[in-house]
């Protein structure tokens, strides 16, 4: 196994993520149970899927971070391993402290379920290398708690280091308040950590990998991750 998709109780995009990687993009991907104390030794990237882990009790992602597998994910990330969290996975990464900030209740209180336009603000990451800077991607979102919040200092640091990777935007790429579906600060839809190996985003790239069902822009992000894993393996070899 090279791509480990973690399954928490309440995850519901785990199989979709594994399907996108395995059946559509043709890489070796497997589900890993949250109680496993270790990642499989062949793991080259970890994916934390969307859903409602542990019923979103207390706060979204707050309980999942105590799963045995998360200690292994933290060790993997600390050693430079590539980790991608979508939606609930992004919330888990924030609660675990692997990414700064937190995802809050949407500004309008409503659950949003739509195709979002996302501007790629940093195409130099391991998760966006197949996209161009400024490119507008169309990828679905579906969440009730996706308003990104961080302290003013943290936002400043994210901006200064080009850690804001994706922003909600208009179809022409302009970043406006009207294009912000949930009240995220700075229209932030996805960020990387300072080291660039941990990526969290509210949109669902695994739901945009086939032209027949909603487009293939998500494959640009997952494909970038695949490229990063493969080039890492070449370096090791």
Partner 1 sequence: MKAVVSVTLKPDVLDPQGEAIRKACGSLGHAAVTGVRQGKLFEVELDAADEAAARKLVEELADKLLANTVIEDYRIERIEA
CA distance linking residue 114 with residue 64, whole number of Å: 26
> Any catalytic annotation for residue 153?
no
Give the DSSP letter of residue 135: P
* Contact residues for 140 (Cβ-Cβ < 8 A; gap 6+): 113, 114, 115, 116, 203, 204, 207, 208, 214
- Residue 149 burial (CB < 10 Å; 0-12/13-18/19+)? middle
CB of 149 to partner 1, least distance (A): 6
Q: Closer CB to partner 1, residue 105 or residue 130?
A: 105
> From the candidates 34, 143, 206, 207, which is the catalytic residue?
206
Q: Please report, as ranges, the residues that interact with partner 1 according to CB under 8 A.
A: 58-59, 62, 95, 101-102, 104-109, 149-151, 183
Give the DSSP letter of residue 25: S
CB of 85 to partner 1, least distance (A): 16
CB of 101 to partner 1, least distance (A): 6
Q: Closer CB to partner 1, residue 58 or residue 113?
A: 58
| Cα atoms found within 13 Å of the Cα of residue 137, Cβ hemisphere only | 32
CA distance linking residue 87 with residue 143, whole number of Å: 7
C-alpha distances out from residue 235 to 83, 85, 231, Å = 19, 25, 6
Q: Closer CB to partner 1, residue 183 or residue 186?
A: 183
> Any catalytic annotation for residue 117?
no
CB of 93 to partner 1, least distance (A): 13
Cα dihedral 133→183→113→34 (10° resolution) = 80
> From the candidates 34, 95, 143, 204, which is the catalytic residue?
204
> From the candidates 34, 60, 87, 143, which is the catalytic residue?
87
Contact 29, 35 (CB under 8 A): no
Phi and psi (nearest 5°) for 112?
-105, 140
> Any catalytic annotation for residue 110?
no
CB of 103 to partner 1, least distance (A): 10
Active site residues: 87, 204, 206
């Amino acid at each position: 196994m090279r791509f480990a998709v973690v399954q928490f109780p309440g995850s519901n995009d785990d199989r979709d993520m594994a399907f996108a990687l395995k059946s559509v993009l043709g890489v070796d991907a497997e589900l890993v149970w949250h109680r496993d104390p270790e990642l499989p030794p062949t793991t080259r990237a970890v994916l934390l899927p969307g859903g409602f882990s542990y019923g979103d009790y207390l706060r979204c992602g707050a309980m999942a971070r105590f799963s045995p597998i998360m200690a292994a994910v933290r060790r993997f990330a600390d050693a430079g391993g590539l980790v991608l969290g979508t939606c609930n996975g992004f919330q888990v990464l924030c609660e675990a402290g692997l990414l700064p900030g937190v995802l809050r209740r949407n500004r309008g209180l409503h659950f949003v379920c739509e195709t979002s336009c996302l501007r790629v603000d940093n195409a130099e990451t391991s998760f966006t290398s197949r996209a161009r800077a400024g490119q507008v991607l169309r990828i679905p979102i579906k969440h009730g708690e996706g308003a990104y919040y961080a302290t003013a200092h943290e936002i400043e640091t994210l901006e200064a280091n080009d850690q804001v990777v994706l922003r909600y935007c208009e179809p022409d790429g302009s970043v406006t308040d009207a294009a912000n579906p949930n009240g995220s600060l700075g229209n932030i839809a996805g960020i990387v950590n300072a080291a660039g190996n941990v990526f969290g985003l509210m949109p669902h790239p695994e739901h945009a990998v086939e032209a027949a069902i909603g487009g293939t822009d998500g494959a640009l992000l997952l494909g970038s991750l695949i490229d990063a894993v493969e080039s890492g393996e070449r370096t090791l070899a």
